[in-house]
Amino acid sequence: MLDNPTLVSFDLCPYVQRAAIVLGEKGVPFTRRDVDLSAKPDWFTRVSPLGKVPLLVVGDDVLFESSVIVEYIEEVTDAPLHPSDPLTRARHRAWMEFGSSILADIWVLETTRDTAALDQKIATLRDKFLRLEAALSDGPWFAGAEFSVVDAVYAPVFRYFDVFDRITDLGILTDLPKLAAWRNALAARPSVIAAARADYPELLHSFLRRHDGALLRRVKKRPSFRSAKSNREVRRNKSMLIVTS
């Protein structure tokens, strides 16, 4: 049994979100501790071999790499989120890696200042989502009726597009009905909602503005990302979004 671990986090990191979703699905109480990755505290650099998040602190032990963290949570808790059949489980893990490759593409999409590189990534992502559409079940989840770890991997992917869609129409997710239904189901899942801050859209848009990439240059009209609860612009001095696998 996992007894109140600490999830060391950065507020925009999609890999942190997947660990938080799995903890939420398992009903494991945990403490979340955010760090500023542009000014890493000494305690963090001492315990994070790669200088990245997430970390899972379990007693005196520290785990790093989101895939390792998720597999550990799966092994030591009840209500498995992986399928029991070895071949199906391996297939799920393969699609989890595919999801990580999509996140790497999204990093380029949101940070590149080169228009040609942006267009290339849009085409790459479109092709990957077409492949994903073909692999999906009839829903509501990746493999059908049961929520699994692979669903936790893709929920943060779609959270990016919730923000991108308010900026410009990239056409990446157009005419993919199974994927659209899956995306909507994930967005309504309590564990997915709880995995990111309520002001995530403002934080991501602020990050995009700081990088001033080609993506924002496609904006025809500056979108509003002010939440109903806050009428001030989010000011955060985070210079990078660190991704890991």
- Any idea what the CATH number is for the domain that residue 168 is in? 1.20.1050.10
Q: Say yes or no to pLDDT of 240 above 60.
A: no
Calculate the dihedral angle through the C-alpha atoms of 91, 92, 93, 95, rounding to the nearest 10 degrees. 90
* Number of domains comprising the chain: 2
Residues 44 and 143 both lie in one domain = no
pLDDT value for 18:
99
Give the pair of three-digit tokens for residue 195.
């995995």
Average pLDDT of 121-139? Answer: 98
Calculate the dihedral angle through the C-alpha atoms of 52, 182, 170, 243, rounding to the nearest 10 degrees. 0
Domain of 15, in residue numbers = 6-76
Residue 37 domain-assigned (yes or no): yes
pLDDT value for 87:
99
Average pLDDT of 206-231? Answer: 72
Higher pLDDT, 232 or 117: 117
pLDDT value for 69:
99
pLDDT value for 224:
57
pLDDT value for 230:
43
CATH number, domain containing residue 17: 3.40.30.10
CA 18 – CA 60 distance, rounded (Å): 23
Residues 130 and 59 both lie in one domain = no
Q: How confident is the model at residue 219 (pLDDT cuts 50, 70, 90)?
A: confident
Q: Are 26 and 79 in contact, with CB atoms under 8 Å apart?
A: yes
Q: Are 78 and 27 in contact, with CB atoms under 8 Å apart?
A: no
For the entire predicted model, the pTM comes to 0.90
Residue 228 domain-assigned (yes or no): yes
Residues 150 and 229 both lie in one domain = yes
| Tens of pLDDT, residues 163-212 | 999 999 999 999 999 999 999 999 999 999 999 999 999 999 999 999 99
pLDDT value for 50:
96
Residues 94 and 65 both lie in one domain = no
pLDDT value for 222:
52
| Tens of pLDDT, residues 7-42 | 999 999 999 999 999 999 999 999 999 999 999 999
**Helix ranges, the chain (H):** 14-26, 42-47, 66-76, 86-111, 115-135, 149-167, 177-187, 190-194, 200-211, 214-217
Average pLDDT of 214-229? Answer: 65
- CB within 8 Å of 169: residues ≥ 6 apart: none
* Cα separations in angstroms, 10 against 47, 118, 163, 239: 15, 25, 18, 12
Burial class (CB within 10 angstroms; exposed 0-12, middle 13-18, buried 19+) of 169: exposed
pLDDT value for 217:
87
| Tens of pLDDT, residues 38-94 | 999 999 999 999 999 999 999 999 999 999 999 999 999 999 999 999 999 999 999
Residue 162 domain-assigned (yes or no): yes
pLDDT value for 232:
40
Q: 141 phi and psi, to 5 degrees?
A: -110, 180
Q: Is 226 a catalytic residue?
A: no
Catalytic entry in 8, 13, 106, 204 = 13
Residue 182 domain-assigned (yes or no): yes
